[in-house]
Amino acid sequence: MASSCYGLQVPRTADPAVRRALVERAAHLLARREPVTLRVLVQGTGASTMAVYTHFGGMPGLWRAVRQEGHTRLAAALDAVPRTGDAVRDLAALGAAYVGAALAAPDLYAAMFDPRADLEDPAAAERGYRRLVSAVEAVRATGRLPAAAAPEEVAARLWSCGHGVASLGAAGLLPRAAVAAQGPDLALGVLLAAGAAADDAGPSVRAGWVLPG
């Protein structure tokens, strides 16, 4: 079945594969600052221009979906990080997963921080950060950070460092080998500044901060 939109036939059934292809194509065009028109958008996706209305209700909905997709994939990457008996290692592994998600989908990562589009789920941008705060709290609960260490502050510093490395890596300005080397050093530096002991935290950070793939 199909419905009419301005005299054109719009399929009612949404195809997740088509939706994904359109989101990734739009992110690719945005990252390269290329003009985005319906015709250019669908090139190479196998979809018609009407698919944009079927899946997103129009171009504004597409921009929201592009930004949302980055947060959705990041959340999935963080959720996939297993919890072990080593809270510091788990915290470091979250950092590696964050940077790995950026390197795996650099265009979507860039779109995550584009304020020109709203989010479909505004709370999604907060969930990853809250996961990081919880991981810092777990480290402090084991006594491997002093009680005076503020989880929100430590998490913000870790996120800032991780975002910097991820952005440089995703943009191709920092080689993957350099990203893999700098990531654990930056994470360890934040923990040491917060009061962690180098001989305790160092081995755990280096065991956990390993780029996926």
Q: Domain with 87 in it: what CATH number?
A: 1.10.357.10
In a domain? residue 81: yes
Shared domain for 118 and 174, answered yes or no, is yes
pLDDT at 13: 66
In a domain? residue 1: no
Q: What tens digit of pLDDT does each residue of 132-191 get?
A: 999 999 999 999 999 999 999 999 999 999 999 999 999 999 999 999 999 999 999 999
Residue 157 tokens read as: 């510093």
Q: What tens digit of pLDDT does each residue of 10-45 get?
A: 445 678 888 888 999 988 888 888 878 888 888 888
Shared domain for 120 and 29, answered yes or no, is no
In a domain? residue 31: yes
Shared domain for 42 and 81, answered yes or no, is no
In a domain? residue 62: no
pLDDT at 12: 52
Residue 5 reports pLDDT greater than 50: no
Shared domain for 141 and 167, answered yes or no, is yes
Cα separation, 79 vs 87, in Å, equals 15
At 8, the pLDDT band (50, 70, 90 cuts) reads very low
Based on DSSP, count helices (H) and strands (E) in the chain, helices before strands.
10, 2
Instruction: Name the DSSP letter for residue 117.
Output: S
Q: Are strands 2-5 and 8-11 parallel, antiparallel or unpaired?
A: antiparallel
Shared domain for 97 and 199, answered yes or no, is yes
Higher confidence at residue 57 or residue 180?
180
Torsion sign over Cα 30, 32, 38, 42: negative
Shared domain for 41 and 115, answered yes or no, is no
- Report how many domains make up the chain: 2
Q: What tens digit of pLDDT does each residue of 81-115 get?
A: 999 999 999 999 999 999 999 999 999 998 888 87
In a domain? residue 14: yes
Cα separation, 162 vs 147, in Å, equals 24
Shared domain for 34 and 127, answered yes or no, is no
Instruction: Provide the 10 A C-beta neighbour count for residue 114.
Output: 14
Shared domain for 132 and 95, answered yes or no, is yes
Shared domain for 46 and 139, answered yes or no, is no
Higher confidence at residue 146 or residue 2?
146
Shared domain for 52 and 78, answered yes or no, is no
- What is the residue range of 34's domain? 9-57
